Chain A
């Protein structure tokens, strides 16, 4: 039999029993649809994690803080403890395997003045040598500190926030272009000594980062040595008692940040740091439960999909066997008229494969529609399903992403399920004895 004849006869038999064919096809549609949904949601989550990680300033960064939260194994907060962070610890951490870069961090808040307007910034001071290792964002203007000149002050995208007139009742804000306007930096941790001239640093070397949607945006960065240098100047303007206290704040570090060479080693390095007696923090701790939640969700839908596929396979086999019973006579006649066993087998295999193909095709189309609906209206549902729903940037998030191979893969799976479940009935059809078949009514 030629392929075109196989097509014609197969399609004719399928269309002869429309209701049953349609019901069987629906089974395959559900199977194919669930496969597409599970993989597309899985892909959606994966890409969400990736963007989240990028926004949060890198998953390979571990932070050791002076005041560390202590959690139990289930991630519940128990208490916090104070840890003494010094150069000795920095050196110890540097020797841990997989650590790419380490830097102590000093956090200081400072005030910016421009005329009568003022604003606040959070300064994060780190070793300028590690800026690159920590994947600092690109700059819209200015440069990062270098050996020759370490006096740069690098503002994050949204830092400083907005200048305000403190005397104004309305708290009116004003955008100040720091490249053009004179801006001065002051520290105000301690009461200035009235006898001395107050510390004030006119900003000259300023840089600005591009938007990252992460922690970089809210901070202002500078080199550790430069911060110490200007802070010492500030200390000198304080009264004697305050000066001692102030100097102490820059002798100890607020944080130690380290960068690990590979995502997979983050947990290992954290364990090493714990062995040194220090509590550390990384994005991994934060993402792990999210990942687990999404994995569980995927497994549940995945099992549903697999079950749907198995059921539709049984369904196809059942349909084909029924079809053979009904067409016993037809098979007998065809055999007597010189139809080869191969043709009969191919005819039934073709019908089963067509059921799979139709189901797969409709499943793929519905999959794209479902994916579109998820992305358009699925926000509330997904934020309930996922503990970290609040993390989603609702406007731009895609909950369901269909990778290019998915429609082809699910078509292939559907056809394969059709062929597999049609094989046994097809072989059975070939074994029908022509003489017995001709005697049956039909």
Chain B
């Protein structure tokens, strides 16, 4: 099934066109993502929803340029990311993309502050400035008193907050979140999701989230149901003239849901 393109193409920050990803497992070929096309608007909170093994995570990785696609096109901000070299892609990630992972993926040897600083180090931001940015961001996610703690000394929820701070610290236009609450209990999950949504709303950021949890999917403006590498159906949770309004409203709705 195909998503209907938005009339105003310039608003589409991500365009996925006929994307196919084939894995080879021995002699067998497995089509993880099969001829998928859709578009995500700027400022939208989009959820890729499906059961485990449906290909949703693969799709996210393809969109983030972490995995190479077999055919098709992925265009982010008008640039075909699969034609970029490693260097260009690294630069592109520095400037435009943030990531939140299920297993947090923090560096255990570094403190919370240093973890959040990391993307800024790669961006060559001066020490003083980046320390301030990282500290402000950690305060924003409610970890002001835990700047010097290492991941092992924090709870899962706190670790994910560090992860969120790291994803948002360089103010990227798009944040990819892969099962961001997969390792958390429901109360912490809600806190984390609210945090992500809050952050995205204040900075007009686009969120692409992968989940298999229907309750989390409800946070999104649009839910793309994925099954066996194909789009099964696209569900619009909140129709709104402006995505920002939609985000605002969906927050209230989600509260009711959970």
Tell whether A196 is near chain B: CB-to-CB under 8 Å. Answer: no
| Cross-chain contact B107 with A338 (CB below 8 angstroms) | no
Complex contacts, B121 vs chain A, CB 8 Å: 1-2, 5, 9
- Interface stretch, picked from B7-15, B91-99, B213-221, is B91-99
Once the chains are docked, how many angstroms separate the CA of A400 from the CA of B186?
Answer: 73
**Inter-subunit contact A330/B107 (CB<8 Å):** yes
B129: which A residues are within 8 A, CB to CB? none
The interface residues of chain A lying within 8 Å CB-to-CB of B95 are: 338
Quick check: A337 and B86 within 8 Å, CB to CB? no
Chain B residues with CB under 8 Å of A5's CB are 121
Known interface pairs A16-B109, A435-B67; A341-B87 also in contact (CB < 8 Å):
yes
Minimum CB–CB distance from B117 to chain A (whole Å) comes to 9
> A434 contacts which chain B residues (CB < 8 A)?
66
**Min distance, Cβ A119 to any Cβ of chain B, angstroms:** 84
Contact A337–B99 (Cβ < 8 Å): yes
Q: How many A-B residue pairs have CB under 8 A?
A: 62
What residues on A are CB-neighbors of B109 within 8 Å? Answer: 12-13, 16
Contact A336 B93 (CB under 8 A): yes
Contact A340 B91 (CB under 8 A): yes
The one of B90, B93, B119, B127 in contact with A341, judged by C-beta atoms closer than 8 angstroms, is B90
Q: Would you call B29 an interface residue if the criterion is a C-beta within 8 Å of the partner chain's C-beta atoms?
A: no
Once A16-B109, A438-B101, A438-B105 are accepted as A-B contacts, the answer to whether A336 and B64 lie under 8 Å apart by CB is yes
Residue of chain A at shortest CB distance from B119 = A337
In the docked arrangement, what's the CA distance between A334 and B64, Å?
14
B90 touches A335 (CB 8 A): yes
Distance to closest chain B CB from A20 (angstroms): 14
- Interface assignment of A333: CB less than 8 Å from any CB of chain B: yes
Number of interface residues of B (CB under 8 A): 29
CB distance from A312 to the nearest CB of B (A): 26
Q: List, in ascending order, chain B residues with CB within 8 A of A336's CB.
A: 64, 66, 93, 99, 105
Contact with B along A8-40 (1 / 0, CB 8 A): 010011001000000000000000000000000
* B residues in contact with A339, CB < 8 Å: 90, 122
- 7 additional contacts (CB under 8 A) given A335-B90, A340-B86, A438-B101: A5-B121, A337-B166, A338-B94, A338-B122, A340-B87, A341-B90, A435-B67
17 A-B contact pairs sorted by A residue (CB < 8 Å): A13-B109, A333-B106, A335-B90, A337-B93, A337-B94, A337-B99, A337-B118, A338-B91, A338-B92, A338-B119, A339-B122, A340-B91, A340-B122, A343-B122, A434-B66, A435-B61, A438-B101
Name B's A-contacting residues (CB within 8 A). Answer: 61, 64, 66-67, 86-87, 90-95, 97, 99, 101, 105-110, 118-119, 121-124, 127, 166
